[in-house]
Amino acid sequence: MRERRDTSERFLVRRGLRELAARQGGVVRRQQGAALGAAHLVKYELESDLWVRLDPGIYLLRGRHLDETARAFRALLLSGPGVVVSHHSAAALWQRPGFDVLPLHTWRMRGANSIRSGNGLKVHETRALPPEHVTEIDGLPVTRPARTVFDLAAVLPLPRTEVLLDRLWTDRLVVWDDLSETFVALNKRGRRGIKEMKRLLDARGPSYVPPASSLERKVQADLEREGVTGLRRQVDLGGRQFAGRVDLLHDGASTVIEVQSERWHSALVDQAADAARTARLEELGLLVIPVWEADIFRPASRWAEPVARIIQNRQRTRAA
């Protein structure tokens, strides 16, 4: 029975190490296997013919080449304590679209060790990297999402930083408390990106509700350019008789704007659900305006101007 259990655990360790290697260019560190199973099974697996020992405690899956990705992770795993994946690489590990792991960006405390940029590794120095700004992904030390967006604010254009911030917020990878505490910790004169982050946070505030999608963000921005202000995002309506959460609500015009993507609103079952929800909202005295994905990327005169006129006319009528 013990032998059968060991065989089963050995299989899980082997699979876990292979999956880890696939994410790290084929390279793993023995200590990373601690979460996979018993230490003797990890040692047995890594010393088998399936792995090539590169350095003490560092192994390459046999058959993989020591390419740029492998060299970058090898350098990281050899760097010792105090080196943390950061910037673009951290964003990629947090599965943010548009960011790549390589070159592998890292933080190190100024003067803490001798690691240098090279072999696919780009090293940044900092005087401020408190423990609460760091976590682990697959055994790799990485900056938390709130710290990551502050770091990237120093090197990205403001519009791209804003999109990253909202997407992290939408996916609940950051919350107001995390962001405000990170701002206090990093708010030093001369720190790059801190003014930009202050501007973004001041414009949002603790009760901010981020856009649910990039389509929703574009619709709101285009309508604001047409003079429509006061739109609220992701609002629950109906009180005790819940009518639904709407994409955009203009209270002054009693108007709801629903952003309809082709993917989620084209099927017959989706159309039926949308019609039922629209009926519930109209019973509350609301005008529901659907804006389709295909229209959003056409000239504003085709959709944004007419929608803006409807909202502004209703607002004037209700105020009269």
Which residue segments constitute the domains of the chain, with CATH numbers given? 2-64 (1.10.10), 72-202 (no CATH), 214-319 (3.40.960.10)
Q: What is the mean pLDDT of residues 88-113?
A: 84
- Most distant CA atoms of the chain, gap in Å: 84
Q: What is the mean pLDDT of residues 268-278?
A: 82
Residues with Cβ within 8 Å of 299's Cβ and at least 6 positions away in sequence, in order, are: none
For the cut 60, the answer to whether the pLDDT of residue 203 exceeds it is yes
What three-state secondary structure class fits 256? strand
Q: What is the pLDDT of residue 300?
A: 82
pTM reported for the whole predicted model: 0.61
Provide the β-strand partners of residue 134: 143
Residue-wise pLDDT tens digits, 44-96? 889 999 999 998 889 999 999 888 778 878 877 777 667 889 999 999 989 88
Q: Is 197 exposed, middle or buried (0-12, 13-18, 19+ CB in 10 A)?
A: buried
Q: What is the pLDDT of residue 293?
A: 82
Provide the β-strand partners of residue 105: 122
The mean-pLDDT minimum among 1-10, 131-140, 177-186, 239-248 falls in 1-10
| Encoded amino acid at 96, one letter | R
Give the mean pLDDT of the chain: 86
CB contact at 8 A, 119 and 141 = no
Q: What is the pLDDT of residue 115?
A: 62
On the question of a cis peptide bond just before residue 103, with omega within 30 degrees of 0, the verdict is yes
CA distance 165 to 210: 9
Q: Between residues 302 and 110, which one has the greater pLDDT?
A: 302
Number of Cβ within a 10 Å radius of residue 54: 17
CB contact at 8 A, 28 and 17 = yes
Helix residue ranges per DSSP H, the chain: 2-23, 39-46, 68-78, 87-93, 145-153, 158-170, 176-186, 194-202, 214-225, 262-265, 268-283, 293-296, 300-319
For the cut 90, the answer to whether the pLDDT of residue 172 exceeds it is no
Q: Between residues 242 and 284, which one has the greater pLDDT?
A: 284
The mean-pLDDT minimum among 28-32, 118-122, 207-211 falls in 118-122
| Encoded amino acid at 308, one letter | A
For the cut 50, the answer to whether the pLDDT of residue 2 exceeds it is no
CA distance 26 to 61: 5
Provide the β-strand partners of residue 126: 109
CA distance 131 to 182: 12
